[in-house]
Chain A
Amino acid sequence: MSGNETKGAVRFENVVKKFGDVVALKSLSLDIVPGELVTLLGPSGCGKTTTLRLIAGLEAVTEGLISIGGKDVTHLTATYRNVSMVFQSYALFPHMSVRENVAYGLTVSATPKKEAFDKAEEGLAMVGLEGFGDRLPSELSGGQQQRVAVARAVVLEPEVLLLDEPLSNLDAKLCRRVREEIRQIQQSLNLTAVYVTHDQEEAMAVSDRIIVMKNAEIAQMGTPADLYNEPNSEFIADFIGDANLVKCDVGSITSGIASIEVGGVKLKVPTTRNVPFNASLVIRPQNASLTAPGKKPGIRGNVTYAAFLGNQIQYTLDTDIGKMFVVDNTMDKTFPVGSDIHLLLNEKKLALVPA
């Protein structure tokens, strides 16, 4: 526990990873700040797990530099890096008791057994598993095993805690609880954590920052709110939350407001650009509302499917600008299948991305 400011910082400089001819990472550069929880998010095969394993030292870089805590660790293997990892399968050693599992990292680094077991007991207490030390992993439930895996990784007081899809084997309700616990432990110990998942909701729920990856490179990074409100591409807009994407013409841009026209309706949409460009309009399902035709100028459409979910109604529409998915949370009025409607858009909540 030194007062070193760079402790826990992770830095990638132009890291390339190839498996034979397959490029798993194209020149990746990134900085992770001490104490933050960063999520690597993306569809399968995007390189997020590879990135995590490179931090762990389980894979060797093909090119580039990796440093942890300001120290170049590019050529160190996992054994010699001060990081620990929670595996998707938990990877608990089946022949050791829970206590032996948690103490393993300490005993292999020559900590006296007594001290290691005491620390293991503290670790188990932290994840709420006091008194389970004598059991075998196979005698625990999935959620308990998961917590043992977290305890085992955390008792080493690593510079960086790595989590590889830690919740993918838990059911939805347990998943929400465990991710809160992980977040609390990470914040209370002020650990740097890197979290891999393909579930965008999970990513938004736990992260300080999300790095979305696609095709072996970073697509966008930022806070969950940044990514949701200001996506930089159709891919991000679609991947983070639901979105309807509509090609549109940008007329002019003045002081951060673009004038556009879709389906015969003129709109003013915020943008960070200042030169007109080939754009797609991002319409989140809750940012559009349905009215009966005639009252206000809207986009004409027809309801093809309506699903009543209790707290909301989901509509699928055929409109002048194509197929649309809209969610009505107000539930003031329901439109049955077949009704003609007008679609109204909430200008301030729309975003433009390059088409």
Chain B
Amino acid sequence: MKKTATLWQIIALIGALFLPWYGVNGGFWSFGWVSGIFSDPKTASAVAQGLLHDRWWLITALIPLAGTGLSLLFIKDHKLLAKLLVVISIAGLVMIIAQGFIIARTAPRIFLDLFVGGPGETGQTGMGAGAFVVLFSQLFVLTTGYSGMGKGRGDAFIVGMIGLIVSLVAVFVFFPVSHILVQAFQGGDGSPSLAEFWSRLSSDRIWTLRCLVGNGSCGPAWNSLMLAIMTGAGTTLLGLAFALIATRTGFRAKRVLRVLTIVPIITPPFVIGLALILLFGRSGTVTELLNTYFDVPKTRWLYGFWGVYLAQLLSFTPIAFLVLIGVVEGVSPSMEEASQTLNADRWQTFRWISFPLMRPGLANAFLLGFIESIADFGNPLVLGGNFSVLSTEIYFSIVGAVANSGRAATLAIILLSMTLSAFLIQRWWVGKKSYATVTGKADSGQHTPLNPALRNLCYATALPWAAFTVVVYSMIIFGSFVKLWGYDHSFTLDHYLRAFSVSFSDGIRWTGVAWDSYFTTLTISSIAAPFTALVGLATAYLLVRQKFVGKEAFEFSTMLSFAIPGTVIGISYILAFNVPPIELTGTSIILILVFVFRNMPVGVRGGIAAMSQLDKSLDEASNTLGANSFTTVRRVIIPLMGPAILAALTYSFVRAITSVSAVIFLVSARHNMATSFIVGRVENGEFGIAIAYSAVLIVTMLIVILGLQLIIGKRRLRREDRLQVLSKTPVVAR
């Protein structure tokens, strides 16, 4: 314990002495701060700030750091040392965090007023590298001491990991989300006001039902709810039809169905909306055809409920299909065979055995569709028109003519409570009711084919829909190559040239308008992906393999961010990280952070699934053979988790590229992302560029996915190579 704690103590000291305490203008990696590490009040380290630049409270906050240092030097008794480390480092963490909040740029300067007499010039900006190094190493001194007390079975690695993930989730999920609450309760003068919150919450603009009685439109709350229920039901039915076809019929092109489930994952959320506009918009192909041949008047019906609904069905049916194919396959064939031997016909078997067994899975798919729909931002933004839903209303409350963060926060609370309720229902009600019929016993037998009527019904629903999906996607390709959709259908490369042209006149110059955001997107996504995978898989490891107090709460809180819509995360990040002590808005770090913590549940789920398939006795064998938990993770878990790690990397990379809802609040002129750039083009009516850019993004992601798949493939090849070599060498004994 002592060695580990001393190491972290030294790192903390380095952080306090030789790293800039506050955020540095130009960025940490420019190292512009090195020369002024003691002398410049902007870039000085904590100790220098305290001694030379009147920020004496930093010295006070660092006293506990000296305390842990002295304890490590002079206390010999193991137990006493452990306890001292825990107590003193907690004090240190509390003091550093407290000074960050109390002595801010804008907050009342209690201490200064008391001691200096009147406000001074010494308020502080957001914390920087030094502060974070000190905070994290103090945290690890704490966890090391805690494990030294015999807690967590004395395993410093595990306790440290738990401590790290808990604090990361607290700082980057709970802390920002709590800002929404604060903001929603804040009155016009900045003081908390329940009345203000109540008047915002019960506002007629949110809850009006005018679309049902009389004319006019309903409030966004009702719109969101209605849309979500219909999308949940629609995607579940379509997904079930596809799942039944894939498992219970002799349908030949099953592989095509599987491909259709992957494509939407790499499609930015509003792209389907764009393609729908090309088909059904006022000058869309279908609209034109109907107008020419049947005299159907051109209308703007697409911009509203039906357009959004159609786009969401297209976007989320694959998710339902993925969920339901597991459910449908999970119904053990032997149950159906048992039913048939008991003289039930196919329809009776389906009606009384298979369907009831699938019911919890159906509920699950419905709730997933519900959550996805209600959190969806891209489609309503592109197609919503006057049909306003909560997620877009939040956006317009922030970026609209009159920024009203109080209203945005209130809407966010309503949205959050809807998704959270669905999430809780899914976990506690559906979760408990699921009939796991996958027993691990070899289950021979075949699934009963559907009875003909049901089969035809499935074909009739699913196949036209699949064809429709194909048409929609091909629109994305066609649309990017024509001059002006609906008016001038001549072939052109103009859109690609405008977006992605390169000039070689003097060196390579990236002259296209899209390059900037394209590179930013790739960079940020590829930085975020490994962190997401790391945090997600580490959490999964703790959840599956370790026992500790509060594990259920821990699991719940890590899964929670899955239920928080992107718009809510986005607004909470700008509310929380716009002011000291953590000032991140306008940086690329905030984009990376939002991706990491928004996509973390995906990594956690993938990790849990992969980890559950690794027999726990592998870890235990490694432990009894004398390996500690760190070595076990390094030499046994990680090599065996290879595919899961790659899957988590791919998925978080792709999600970072395609996400728009959270990002749109957090981009800045310097760090613009592809999706928000495209949304900007759509808002300007430049569909050609928007679609060309989307197509490029999709191709980029396909290349990355295929590249990563090749790496997995290589791994397998290597093993096969080894086998072949083996079989050539003669083996004597048998």
List the B residue with the shortest CB-CB distance to A109.
B626
Residues of A within 8 A of B629 (CB): 79
* Max count, chain A CB within 10 A of own CB: residue among B625, B719, B726: B625
Of B361-369, B470-478, B562-570, B632-640, the one touching chain A: B632-640
- Say yes or no: is B439 at the interface (Cβ < 8 Å to chain A): no
Contact digits for B718-730, partner A, Cβ 8 Å, 1 yes 0 no: 0100110010010
Interface residues of A in 82-96 (CB under 8 A from B): 83-85, 87-89, 91-95
The binding surface of chain A is classed by DSSP as: loop
A108 touches B618 (CB 8 A): no
A89 touches B731 (CB 8 A): no
A104 touches B627 (CB 8 A): yes
Residues of B within 8 A of A56 (CB): 620, 624
Of A28-36, A127-135, A258-266, the one touching chain B: A127-135
Of B6-14, B150-158, B266-274, B599-607, the one touching chain A: B150-158
Contact digits for A136-175, partner B, Cβ 8 Å, 1 yes 0 no: 1001000000000000110010000010000000000000
Residue of B153, B621, B622, B631 near A60 (CB, 8 A) is B153
Residue of B623, B636, B726 near A135 (CB, 8 A) is B726
How distant is the Cα of A80 from the Cα of B624 in the complex, in angstroms?
Answer: 8
How distant is the Cα of A132 from the Cα of B732 in the complex, in angstroms?
Answer: 9
- Say yes or no: is B628 at the interface (Cβ < 8 Å to chain A): yes
Residue of A85, A109, A134 near B624 (CB, 8 A) is A85
B625 touches A105 (CB 8 A): yes
A58 touches B623 (CB 8 A): yes
B640 touches A94 (CB 8 A): yes
B625 touches A156 (CB 8 A): yes
Residues of A within 8 A of B628 (CB): 79
B627 touches A89 (CB 8 A): no
A93 touches B636 (CB 8 A): yes
CB distance from A95 to the nearest CB of B (A): 5
B154 touches A129 (CB 8 A): no
Residues of B within 8 A of A129 (CB): 733
- Say yes or no: is A78 at the interface (Cβ < 8 Å to chain B): yes
Residues of A within 8 A of B618 (CB): 91, 93
CB distance from B233 to the nearest CB of A (A): 40
B620 touches A79 (CB 8 A): no
- Say yes or no: is A323 at the interface (Cβ < 8 Å to chain B): no
* Max count, chain B CB within 10 A of own CB: residue among A79, A84, A135: A79
CB distance from A249 to the nearest CB of B (A): 50
Known contacts A77-B153, A128-B733, A131-B732; A58 and B620 CB within 8 A of each other: yes
B733 touches A87 (CB 8 A): no
Residue of B155, B624, B627, B723 near A162 (CB, 8 A) is B624
A95 touches B640 (CB 8 A): yes
- Say yes or no: is A75 at the interface (Cβ < 8 Å to chain B): yes
B635 touches A108 (CB 8 A): yes
Known contacts A77-B153, A89-B615; A83 and B624 CB within 8 A of each other: yes
Interface residues of B in 580-627 (CB under 8 A from A): 615, 617-618, 620-627
CB distance from A241 to the nearest CB of B (A): 32
Residues of B within 8 A of A58 (CB): 620, 623-624
Q: Total interface residues on A, using CB and 8 Å?
A: 39
How distant is the Cα of A77 from the Cα of B154 in the complex, in angstroms?
Answer: 8
A104 touches B625 (CB 8 A): yes
CB distance from B650 to the nearest CB of A (A): 21
Residue of A91, A109, A128 near B621 (CB, 8 A) is A91
A95 touches B733 (CB 8 A): no
Residues of A within 8 A of B635 (CB): 104, 108
* Max count, chain B CB within 10 A of own CB: residue among A58, A91, A105: A91
B624 touches A131 (CB 8 A): no
Residues of B within 8 A of A83 (CB): 624
How distant is the Cα of A265 from the Cα of B631 in the complex, in angstroms?
Answer: 69
B615 touches A84 (CB 8 A): no
How distant is the Cα of A136 from the Cα of B729 in the complex, in angstroms?
Answer: 14
List the B residue with the shortest CB-CB distance to A152.
B625
Residues of B within 8 A of A77 (CB): 153-155, 623
Contact digits for A58-89, partner B, Cβ 8 Å, 1 yes 0 no: 10100000000000000111111101110111
Residues of B within 8 A of A135 (CB): 726
Residue of B623, B639, B733 near A79 (CB, 8 A) is B623
* Max count, chain B CB within 10 A of own CB: residue among A60, A84, A92, A108: A108
How distant is the Cα of A324 from the Cα of B243 in the complex, in angstroms?
Answer: 58
A85 touches B621 (CB 8 A): yes
List the A residue with the shortest CB-CB distance to B620.
A58
B617 touches A89 (CB 8 A): yes
B624 touches A84 (CB 8 A): yes
B155 touches A131 (CB 8 A): no
Residues of A within 8 A of B622 (CB): 93, 104, 108
CB distance from A296 to the nearest CB of B (A): 53
Residue of A89, A94, A132 near B733 (CB, 8 A) is A132
A87 touches B631 (CB 8 A): no
A130 touches B733 (CB 8 A): yes
How distant is the Cα of A285 from the Cα of B150 in the complex, in angstroms?
Answer: 54
Residues of A within 8 A of B623 (CB): 57-58, 77-79
Residues of B within 8 A of A85 (CB): 620-621, 624
List the A residue with the shortest CB-CB distance to B614.
A94
B627 touches A88 (CB 8 A): no
Contact digits for B690-734, partner A, Cβ 8 Å, 1 yes 0 no: 000000000000000000000000000001001100100101110
Residues of A within 8 A of B626 (CB): 79-80, 105, 108-109, 156
List the B residue with the shortest CB-CB distance to A103.
B625
List the A residue with the shortest CB-CB distance to B618.
A91
Interface residues of A in 171-209 (CB under 8 A from B): none
* Max count, chain A CB within 10 A of own CB: residue among B624, B626, B640, B733: B624
Known contacts A77-B153, A105-B626, A108-B627; A91 and B615 CB within 8 A of each other: yes
Residue of A78, A93, A153 near B620 (CB, 8 A) is A78
How distant is the Cα of A71 from the Cα of B436 in the complex, in angstroms?
Answer: 46
A91 touches B154 (CB 8 A): no
Known contacts A75-B150, A131-B733, A134-B726; A87 and B625 CB within 8 A of each other: no
CB distance from B719 to the nearest CB of A (A): 8
Residues of A within 8 A of B732 (CB): 130-131
Residue of A87, A95, A162 near B617 (CB, 8 A) is A87
Contact digits for A40-65, partner B, Cβ 8 Å, 1 yes 0 no: 00000000000000001110100000
CB distance from B18 to the nearest CB of A (A): 33
Residues of B within 8 A of A57 (CB): 623-624
How distant is the Cα of A77 from the Cα of B152 in the complex, in angstroms?
Answer: 10
CB distance from B1 to the nearest CB of A (A): 13
Residues of A within 8 A of B620 (CB): 56, 58, 78, 85, 87, 91
A108 touches B726 (CB 8 A): no
List the B residue with the shortest CB-CB distance to A75.
B150
Residue of B154, B624, B631, B726 near A75 (CB, 8 A) is B154
CB distance from A76 to the nearest CB of B (A): 8
How distant is the Cα of A105 from the Cα of B723 in the complex, in angstroms?
Answer: 25
Known contacts A77-B153, A131-B732; A88 and B617 CB within 8 A of each other: yes
List the B residue with the shortest CB-CB distance to A60.
B153
Residues of A within 8 A of B615 (CB): 89, 91
List the A residue with the shortest CB-CB distance to B629.
A79
CB distance from B611 to the nearest CB of A (A): 15
CB distance from B614 to the nearest CB of A (A): 9
Q: A78-B623, A128-B733 are in contact. List 12 more A-B contacts (CB 8 A).
A: A75-B154, A78-B620, A79-B626, A88-B617, A89-B615, A93-B618, A104-B622, A105-B625, A105-B627, A108-B622, A134-B729, A153-B625
22 sampled A-B residue pairs with Cβ under 8 A: A77-B154, A77-B155, A84-B624, A85-B624, A87-B620, A94-B640, A95-B639, A104-B622, A104-B627, A105-B626, A108-B625, A108-B627, A109-B626, A128-B733, A131-B732, A132-B733, A135-B726, A136-B723, A152-B621, A153-B625, A156-B626, A162-B624
- 7 nearest A-B pairs in the assembled complex, by CB-CB distance: A105-B625, A91-B621, A91-B617, A78-B623, A108-B627, A85-B624, A87-B617
